[in-house]
Structure 1
Amino acid sequence: MTSRALLLVLALSLAACSPKLDWRQTHPVGAGITAMFPCKPVVNSRPATAAEPAAMGLAECKADEWTFSLAWADLKDPALVGPALHEMQRSLTTKLNAEVVSTEALTVAGMTPNPAAGQQLLRGTQQHARLAVFSRGLRVYQVLMLGTQDNPVAWESFITGLKLDS
């Protein structure tokens, strides 16, 4: 085999081994949680203001065919936590013009028990989504994987990688 052919075989074998989803631990500043993302997320946050009383943040990245995101918001009133979790689910379902295919319980160590917490598989006209919502105290979280097809293995890695701060 010539050196040129050997280099070509080596390059092709290395390309075949490179992972489409390169999982890494991320701890977005101010989120109070560590998450495993399959790509390096861009993190944006904004503090509470008089006009927008909830501090909010978003960590998001795109890998292969999917968008992965973790959003959080700090609420001022405990009575708003359940309605906020419901609204996060409802608004995404509406935005995607999706049907809820399945709903499952969700456990993230350290989360505050809330009947509105859980995870769903959504099927829209053009996109599939896996969504989880939960809270810790007055902070609500939304975890999302969005793409043209479902990937339960990637979702399982994403959701089981969540660790709330002690």
Structure 2
Amino acid sequence: MAIKKLRMSALILLSALLLSACNPQFNWREIHSNDAPFSVLMPGKADSFSQDIQLAGVTVKMTMTATDVGGLNFAVGSLKLADVSKTTEVLAAMQNGMIKNIQGRIIKPVSATNAVLEVQGKAGGSDVVMAARFLNRGNWVYQVIVLGPQNKMTPEIIETFMSSFVAN
């Protein structure tokens, strides 16, 4: 039974990759961060920038690696905590901050089988949907997001981007 589910999951992922790969607008390429231990597929050339921010009373240097393709924003935020005991609070503050930034409300919470949170909100005066993951590996904390209009946000695009993220 487990092997059947694994095969089905692999087939779905392969189909999603093939479908999204057929779209000439999305030129998926593997990005390796110079600042944090992760890799991800992005649909265009990504730029990175860093700034100091405060999350849960902790000042951290956060690096965003992002691209904007087809009206969708794809981004990975990463930061390294000096004190791993702050991970839970920092992850919660990061998630709450992203939701607040778009005056959002959760429409699909994270479950045990689906690590992607979906949020409706507003950006630049327009309605948007955000698919997001907030996770950590050791003392590294990450946010992986896709943000844009609902009519451009397909399950295949979300799946390709989210499933490609690997914290090394």
Is TM more than 0.5 here? yes
Matched, 1:122 2:119: yes
Counterpart residue number, 1:98: 104
Judge conservation of contact 1:58–1:72 (CA < 8 Å) in 2.
yes
TM-score, scaled relative to structure 1: 0.74
- The superposition leaves residues 60-84 of structure 1 with CA deviations (integer Å, 9 ceiling, x where unpaired) of 0000020000010111112210111
Matched, 1:71 2:77: yes
2:60 aligned counterpart, secondary structure: coil
- Within 5 Å, which residues of 2 pair with 1:85-164? 85-105=91-111, 118-125=115-122, 126-149=127-150, 150-164=153-167
Give the Cα–Cα distance (whole angstroms) in 2 for the partners of residues 144 and 45 of structure 1.
17
Moved over 4 A (4+): none
Q: How many residues align?
A: 136
RMSD (Å), alpha carbons: 2.3
Give the Cα–Cα distance (whole angstroms) in 1 for the partners of residues 112 and 136 of structure 2.
11
Shift of 1:53: 5.0
* Amino-acid identity (%): 22
Cα separation, partners in 2 of 1:42 and 1:79, compared to 1, 3 Å: same
Give the Cα–Cα distance (whole angstroms) in 1 for the partners of residues 41 and 141 of structure 2.
18
Give the Cα–Cα distance (whole angstroms) in 2 for the partners of residues 162 and 29 of structure 1.
15
Shift of 1:39: 0.7
TM-score, scaled relative to structure 2: 0.73
Shift of 1:18: 6.1
Gaps of 5+ in 1: 1-16, 108-117
Pick the structure with more helix per residue.
2
Give the Cα–Cα distance (whole angstroms) in 1 for the partners of residues 165 and 23 of structure 2.
24
Asked which structure has the greater CA Rg, the reply is 1
Gaps of 5+ in 2: 1-21, 53-57
